[in-house]
Amino acid sequence: MSIKLIADSGSTKTDWVLLDDKKVLFQYQTIGFNPYFQSSETIYNEIKHVLLPLLENQLSNINHIAYYGAGCSSSDKIEVVKQGLYLAFGNIKTEVNHDLLAAARALCGKEKGIACILGTGSNSCLYNGTEVIENVPSVGYMFGDHGSGATIGKTFIQYYFDDKLPQHLKIAFEKAGFHRELILENVYKKPLPSKYLASISNFISSFPNDSFIKELIINCFIDFFEAQVSKYTNAHELPVNSVGSIGFYYKEFLEIAAKKQGFKIGNIIKSPIDGLIKYHS
């Protein structure tokens, strides 16, 4: 029996699929991994305690691991993930790729296009149907991640701290339990601040028809098109595809921003895992 384990990992969650040719044997979700913030041991411990007990009956049949992950953009970061997987699964053939390739394969298949990730963080690439040929580097939530959940959350918080929120939003925000000390503690003292900032979008999403919220999100997406998408060769001639919860749930605003910037939207999906299953079948 030849079984492949596919993993698609963002900073928030990891989707795991056990695939026997075209048949899905198992599907599960763990926390997300990012080698910029987590060690090999952290990755190993999560897999050991959460995933391995569920895979116990199939472990001996797994002969290939295809892992796609946030932060896997350099050889040293890839090695962090590979070591974590080795500690968990042993000497199984393992390929670790950037989550951008996962997005491109899931969104474009074998067609040329621009593939974007709009989730907790953001990234993009130009894909030629086989491989990523151009990429504007992502520099994280502090200096980049335009259009991401983290940036939308950070922008909203900035308005809150500057006392520029409309009064009804400020009152609702504080009533939901948010205040200055709590926000600063989560951003500066607790792990994974980008995840916390992105969680603010859960509050924001409860006001989909609010004109202030609508303008804020559209402007964040416009920044994304300007900082990322516009840099690619012949960008205005290619479909712009998006994977991730932010692009998916704010599809209407993404399309408005794209139209304003002269881009055409292609596929918009929430998660790449279904496309990866199809690709690896």
Q: Residues 122-167: pLDDT tens digits?
A: 999 999 988 999 999 877 667 768 899 999 999 999 999 999 999 9
What is the b/e burial string over 18-37, where b = at least 16 CB atoms within 10 angstroms of the residue's CB?
bbeeeeeebeeebbbbbbeb
Q: Chain centroid to CA 5: how far?
A: 20
Domains of the chain: 3-102+274-280 (3.30.420.40)
Neighbouring residues of 167: CB distance < 8 A, sequence distance ≥ 6: none
Query: Judging by beta carbons within 10 Å of its beta carbon (0-12, 13-18, 19+), is residue 241 exposed, middle or buried?
Result: buried
From first to last of the 281 residues of the chain, give the pLDDT tens digit: 578 999 999 777 899 999 887 788 889 999 999 998 899 999 999 999 999 999 988 888 898 999 999 889 899 999 999 999 999 999 999 999 988 899 999 999 889 999 999 988 899 999 998 899 999 987 766 776 889 999 999 999 999 999 999 999 999 999 999 999 999 999 899 888 888 899 998 899 899 899 999 999 999 999 999 999 999 999 999 999 999 999 999 999 999 999 999 999 999 999 888 888 888 87
Q: Residue 1: its pLDDT value, please? A: 58
Considering all CA atoms of the chain, what is the largest pairwise distance in Å, rounded to the nearest integer? 62
Distance CA 68, CA 105 (A): 11
Alpha helices in 68-210 (DSSP H): 75-89, 99-108, 140-143, 149-161, 167-175, 180-188, 193-204
Query: What pTM, to 2 d.p., does this model score?
Result: 0.78
Quick check: 217 and 211 in contact, CB under 8 A?
Answer: no
Q: List pLDDT tens digits, range 233-258.
A: 999 999 999 999 999 999 999 999 99
pLDDT value of position 71: 86
Element (H, E) at 110: none
